[in-house]
Structure 1
Amino acid sequence: MDKFWAHLIKVQPDPDPWVVVVSALVALVIVGFRMPWQLSRGLITIAHEGGHALMALLTRRKLEGIRLHSDTSGVTLTRGRPTGPGMVLTALAGYLAPPLLGLGAAWLTEQGRITVLIWGVLLLLVCMLLLIRNLYGALILLVTGGAVFALIMYAPADIQQVVALVAVWFLLFGGIRPIIELQHKRRRRQARDSDADQLARLTFLPGGFYVFFFLLVSVASVVFGAYLMNPL
């Protein structure tokens, strides 16, 4: 345990500036182009549904499970009062989870806590696996968790650092695109049960306000995350 703790809290040296820049460009390409985005969007869905689940637990709602679907959508099932602060906070947490998780990961990266970050991601995936209620969702989490575990066990420290940087940028950039896609669907009236529209029914504010709020938090997270990881 002493050796594991020493390994866990070990501080890695700062990456070279070009590594930070290239990792940001790689993440931007993944998010910006259709094919890589379709292949990786499910990771953002995992963070999104994890945000709903965590907030449901924090607000003492009964969490019944999480489902992840092959079209990269997902749903978190909870029970409790259909209105009130707990329901509002649970609905708010989904779109805010990926950028805020990316911001927290950016802070850990800036502190050189890459090992803590990777083990933390693995722990979150294991916790979500216990809540999954469909086969596809379990398969996706097992594959993702297996890849993270292999990274921990077999990849050298510099490779872990590069992968962590790409993942941090991906969470930051990837938190913005689903919000833009959400607004496009709302304009075509194809997202009547979206988080923003549910919040509009729960409160006196329109759905467009919540879309703007999601976008504001996501952009602010990118700005602060970039500031933390600024190679200069």
Structure 2
Amino acid sequence: MSNLTGRRILYTGASGGLGHETTLQLLAAGAEVIVLDRDARKNESLIADTPADLKARLHLIECDLTDKPALQSLLDQLTTTRALDAVINNAAIYPSKPFEEYSLEEQALVHAVNVEAALICTRAALPGMRAQGWGRIINITSITLTGGWENLVPYVQSKGALLGLTRAWAREFGKWGITVNAIAPGAFPTDAEKIHPDPVGYAARIMDSQAIKRRGHPGDIAASIRFFLSDEAGFITGQSLAVDGGWTMH
């Protein structure tokens, strides 16, 4: 496991789904992890699963990422005394219905959580990273960008925006020793899968599509995040890594 001792990491939407296990692994690797998540039940579960000797380095803040003034105020407080070494833009909402049934307000809400929060968090962390000449930004995108899923237009649009930001930020921030990369998870057994009306059929589709014939587990994502956070990944930027068992290949 990469040694992340002393690293200060901001991680949005980290209490549930794939973030829970990754947070525990980052703490075990020595990092201080600041979690922004509004799901009280999942927050409580993360606290309960955190070993007692690691709890002092976990800072769990219930936060509505769509409340931009409150989010900015919180970030100002977090960055006043010490820089953030890394930002993991993971928070997302995942509604599913035909494109014509989404209102503009619903589409704007997806964009606010999945993209605008990432913009605000990254902008807040940038001055400290630039001053210290080191930083890591990881954007969690999705293999839905490959076009194989219906009824997810606002979500896919938002993940496309994050991929574009990954490349644009990587080009702009590289001169300050800051890397920016994306991770595109495949099909993992999380709450997000509950939107599919036929779970058995969906599971069969996953096994047919993947080269590796097992379901992904949160540790697969945690390993890729730890790698991008490491010093060993310092010459890799602007890239998108699909962690999907070989569902998509480029």
Normalising by the smaller structure, the TM-score range is under 0.3
TM-score by length of 1: 0.27
TM-score by length of 2: 0.26
Q: Which has the higher helix share?
A: 1
Q: Which has the higher strand share?
A: 2
Q: Which has the higher contact order (CA 8 A, sep 6+)?
A: 1
